[in-house]
A and B are shown apart, each in its own frame.
Chain A
């Protein structure tokens, strides 16, 4: 009985440490001006608000991650960005597992909410609207860019088709970052 009690106490401490660590990291970052590596931050405040004509988004090919903030709920995270045919997209993977949907809950919120968002690249903030793309030929370009930019692979018709199938099956969710009201 004494051994069981000690084992339970040790287990309790071992569970307590990661729980406190996660809570601390999340709490510490919750209202920051931008996200950390993994935990969401608060409203993107710093940086100039872009108001001109639609930019040439090809410059994002040289940018690994951007900061994306949803207006509702007001939180921000780091995310990959993909440019294809003059439009920009973000992708949320791991959406077919419960752990993935918990991790990428922002995508569920964006899909179910109004999708209003702000992205920050460098010192510039761009007001946008997230529009989920479930299917269509546009996903071929997104898939090709995903493969070449983030997986270091040369896109082939087969690999593009496989990536597109994964998106259309809901394993990854793709959102276009459209101009607001556009």
Chain B
């Protein structure tokens, strides 16, 4: 993939991820719950 197209893909992914977390109900809670489980397991 050419650098220009790759950058466009990166920006698109950033926007998609951010907007999904901000505006799709339940997504942020799910991510936080899984992250909490990860940290509880690995931060010992």
Contact = CB atoms under 8 A, between A and B. Distances in A.
Interface string A25-54: 100100000001111000000000000000
Contacts of A39: 32
What does DSSP make chain B's interface, helix, strand, loop or mixed?
helix
A13 to B, nearest CB: 6
Contacts of B35: 38
B29 A20 contact: no
A6 interface: yes
* Chain A binding surface, main DSSP class: helix
Given A20-B13, A20-B17, A38 B32 contact: yes
Interface in B1-44: 1, 6, 9-10, 13-14, 17-18, 21-22, 28-29, 31-33, 35-36, 39, 42-44
15 contacts: A9-B1, A12-B6, A12-B10, A13-B13, A16-B14, A17-B17, A20-B17, A20-B18, A21-B21, A21-B31, A25-B21, A28-B21, A28-B22, A97-B43, A100-B43
